[in-house]
Amino acid sequence: AQSVTQLGSHVSVSEGALVLLRCNYSSSVPPYLFWYVQYPNQGLQLLLKYTSAATLVKGINGFEAEFKKSETSFHLTKPSAHMSDAAEYFCAVSGGNNRLAFGKGNQVVVIP
Amino acid sequence: DAGVIQSPRHEVTEMGQEVTLRCKPISGHNSLFWYRQTMMRGLELLIYFNNNVPIDDSGMPEDRFSAKMPNASFSTLKIQPSEPRDSAVYFCASRLGQAYNEQFFGPGTRLTVL
């Protein structure tokens, strides 16, 4: 079975500062990894995904993530936070079966 | 494409009543997933279908929950009888093809059981 750990349920970041959300995964097979974003009262939207191609993955809205097998990590970053980045972010892992295991999520608050 | 469509968006019911949530996946997608989201437990997979066939229902909490997919364009999640602890946001998602492809989520149904 696969699982994801996201630490720190709430993350505050100043506008213009670096956004860093940490994700560590556990999987018995080579994983597929995803970051989703959820805005209030909406469903989840895909930000980016890793599927065993390039280890540095670029997504929408200026976000990127790096797959590090040795650290079992897939941390999400954005160089400069914008007010519109305030949302909840979920890391998820699939071990090749159809189950997608989500982390608990990070609620990002952007401080003007 | 209209995306994944869920109805109703909000449902308020009383304990003991039957609740039916509905989902229309994106046309052409062959996998459908039902999730439940709560503050305490986060996002949990309840059941998923592949080509209209239930593949894994191990996440269904108990026998009060049931799901069907009579055809490729429609699925239901039923709770009978409902209980206050079922209050949550229920999401439907659909996907085309393999596990490395994106799941597309609907807007969710917010269920409140009084």
CB contact under 8 A, B99 and A46: no
**pLDDT band (50, 70, 90) for residue B2:** confident
CB contact under 8 A, A100 and B103: yes
Angle at CA of residue A101, ends B85 and B88, nearest 5°: 20
- Using a CB-CB cut-off of 8 Å, the residues of chain A touching B55 are 98
Interchain CB contact of B83 with A (< 8 Å) = no
- Using a CB-CB cut-off of 8 Å, the residues of chain B touching A104 are 42
The residues, ordered by sequence, that sit 6+ positions from B45 with a Cβ below 8 Å of its Cβ are A99, A100, A101, B33, B34, B35, B56, B59
Interchain CB contact of A53 with B (< 8 Å) = no
Per-residue pLDDT reduced to its tens digit, A29-84: 888 999 999 998 889 999 999 987 789 999 999 999 999 999 999 999 999 999 99
Nearest by CB to A43, from B45, B91, B100: name it.
B91
Per-residue pLDDT reduced to its tens digit, B15-67: 999 999 999 999 999 999 999 999 888 899 999 999 999 998 989 988 999 99
